[in-house]
Amino acid sequence: MQLLTEKIILGTAQFGLDYGINNESGKPSDEAIWEILNYAFDNGIGILDTADAYGSAAELIGNFHAQTRNKFKVNTKFIFEEKRGVAKHLEQSLKKLSVDQINVLFYHRFEDFRNYQNVLQELKKLKSEKLINKLGVSVYNNTQLRDAIETDEVDCIQLPFNLLDNYYQRGGFLKKAKERNKEVQVRSVFLQGLFFKDLDNYPDYLKPLKKYVQEIKIIAETNFRSIEELALCYVLAEDTIDYVIIGVDTKVQLENNIICTSKYLSQDIKHKIDNIAVLETDLLYPYNWK
């Protein structure tokens, strides 16, 4: 049984925020977070994904690093503040996270990436000083994805990819990204928990997605798969993707996800999912959810 945990990045939005449409329990306790982090490290997950916007997540990671021997690489996203400056921000992030280097520093907002080109030059300098390993940008739509692919200074791109925001939506751009030697990380694998939500409890504004989720549930049931397994195996099976970001609320969820990484997804199943064509693409982005 081969596990693909080396392709897994542990997301930490849940550590600092009440995150996800299906989250009824709120943030995990600090004790639960430490349990998750230790289990992740012991099972081959070596990278964490965090952001300024994730509440207290960075502080929790820093406390963990300061008090244990288990040290993760950390990817983080920043929101540019002109009065603070990017060098000062980086200095504060390194201290807060208790690391010597940021593995990938992402622009969290694509608008910052486009509007502050001088920042990109400053980031290149900080990269040359080994305070940053790679420069990245977080994108949502294919227009942003295309721009990131075509920017030489961008080493890494993070984008949504899942059973609905799938190869039909993204495939051509993923191929182009790899042709340009970009590292590709994908997030929103479970669409913030929407795939697990009872179809009868979808809010009115998300009801147009029900027919597509029902199609996914039929694929899962006819192939004796859980939705969790299908969602994770689908993104892991895409060879243009380097890393898959998952978030969990409990150690048990992480255990189940790690077990799922050993499961094989046939080309027939992958092809069926690849061809699910969501027309209401605005609903694939949680920032549009009311």
Task: Determine the pLDDT at residue 24.
Answer: 53
Tell me which residue of 95, 93, 160, 106 sits closest to 133, measured CA to CA. Answer: 106
Domains of the chain are 5-288 (3.20.20.100)
Integer Cα distance of 5 and 44 in angstroms: 6
Task: Determine the pLDDT at residue 52.
Answer: 87
Token pair listed for 64: 């963990």
Low-confidence ranges of the chain (pLDDT < 50): 1-2, 21-23
Alpha carbon distance, N-terminus to C-terminus of the chain: 42
Task: Determine the pLDDT at residue 19.
Answer: 55
DSSP string, 272-290: HHHT---S-GGGGSGGG--
Task: Determine the pLDDT at residue 227.
Answer: 94
The predicted model scores a pTM of: 0.92
Task: Determine the pLDDT at residue 112.
Answer: 87
Mark 239-270 as b/e (b = at least 16 C-beta within 10 Å): ebbbbbbbbbbebeebeebbebbebebeeebb
Inter-residue contact 12 to 61 (CB < 8 Å) = yes
Inter-residue contact 206 to 283 (CB < 8 Å) = yes
